[in-house]
Chain A
Amino acid sequence: MSEVWVVVVLVGAATVALKAVGPVALGGRELPRPLTAILFLLAPALLAALVVTQAVGGDRSLVFDERLVGLGAAAAAIALRAPLLAVVVIAAAVTAAARALG
């Protein structure tokens, strides 16, 4: 089995289980409040880390290249409330343009 298949199967199984916990096992009951607070903070912490690693991450080094130009354009698009797809397309197009010019 390829590495990708292992990831696909394990992430799929984990997600199915996480979504099922409430409806199947714990119908009606609630998690302790501090635990819930932390679980809801996982997404912002992980997404912010993903922004950083995808924008400046290299092979065990920080790499500052055209991706940052594209990310800046994306940030401007988000500030202007552009839809998700437009944000992604703008980032890719600006990065590609910066590479072509650079």
Chain B
Amino acid sequence: MTGSPTRTRYQDGARRIAPIGAAAAVFGASFAVLARTADFEAAEAIAMSATTFAGSAQFAAASILGTGGTVAAAVVAASLLNARYAPIGMTVASEFRGSALRRLLEGQLIVDESWAMSRRSDGSYDRRLLIGGGLLLYVCWVGGTALGAAIGDRLGEPERYGLDAAFPALFLALLVPQVRTRQALAAALGGAAIALVLIPFVPAGVPIVAAVAACLVGWTRL
């Protein structure tokens, strides 16, 4: 125990993550706008940001539905994208206190950014930084989505603005920082190859779910 007051520590987390919070609000707004290409209503986009609170999975679900994929393909692909939160949650699990309900709710504030920011140099995690930062990101993300949903209704045809090309660009930008090891590179190249080969032969969405097979390189030593 360091004896520093609780209140300042939560605020520290919010303050440190504030620049990312601004980006999250804009990103949340772009989710609401892009989700319109998949016929998301405003309430559906906002509800998804409030419950899923994970950008890549939300964009994946919207893009799969938008390109004619099935509900099952969208749900499986988005859920698998969030599967990393199981091991991520375990790294910080020992820091969480209180009732199961409280831990469940606080656990929802774990996102890539709040988790990374709360890591101490000794490898442990600061729960208050994580929660303070996560809470600010949550407000920015859901608020941004609501704002985007309000604006998006007045934009008209998404293709005219090249918004269909915004999806692959976004996924590429999210992919690049993930490829830090040879195994991650192999998984990415394998996943891309599987999708490319399957697109002409199976319904939309299935190539993305099938690309999961590329993760099996995790069992090899590269």
Contacts and interface: CB of A to CB of B under 8 A. Distances in A.
B49 to A, nearest CB: 10
Given A41-B215, A85-B26, A61 B175 contact: no
Given A62-B199, A91-B165, A15 B107 contact: no
Interface stretch (B2-10, B88-96, B146-154): B88-96
Interface string A8-25: 111111111011111110
A58 to B, nearest CB: 8
Majority-rule SS of B interface residues: helix
A61 B199 contact: yes
Interface string B162-193: 11111111111111101100011101111110
Nearest to A58: B199
Given A3-B71, A24-B107, A67-B164, A42 B215 contact: yes
Interface string B106-142: 1110100000000000000000000000000000000
Interface string A68-102: 00110011001000011101111111111111000
Nearest to B96: A23
Interface residues of B, number: 103
A85 B75 CA distance: 26
A94 B87 contact: no
Contacts of A41: 183-184, 187, 214-215, 217-218
Interface string A33-60: 0101111111111111111111111111
Contacts of A98: 162
B139 to A, nearest CB: 17
Contact of A87 (B52, B54, B170): B170
B107 A20 contact: yes
A31 B179 contact: no
Contact of B172 (A34, A59, A74, A92): A74
B172 A75 contact: yes
Contacts of A92: 161-163, 165-166, 169
A34 B217 CA distance: 10
Interface of B: 23, 26-27, 30, 38-41, 44, 47-48, 50-54, 56-58, 60-61, 63, 65, 67-68, 71, 74-75, 77-94, 96, 100, 103-104, 106-108, 110, 159-176, 178-179, 183-185, 187-192, 194-196, 199-204, 207-208, 210-212, 214-219
13 contacts: A4-B38, A8-B47, A10-B71, A11-B57, A23-B92, A27-B96, A44-B188, A45-B191, A48-B187, A48-B214, A50-B77, A67-B168, A71-B168
Interface of A: 2-16, 18-24, 26-31, 34, 36-62, 66-67, 70-71, 74-75, 78, 83-85, 87-99
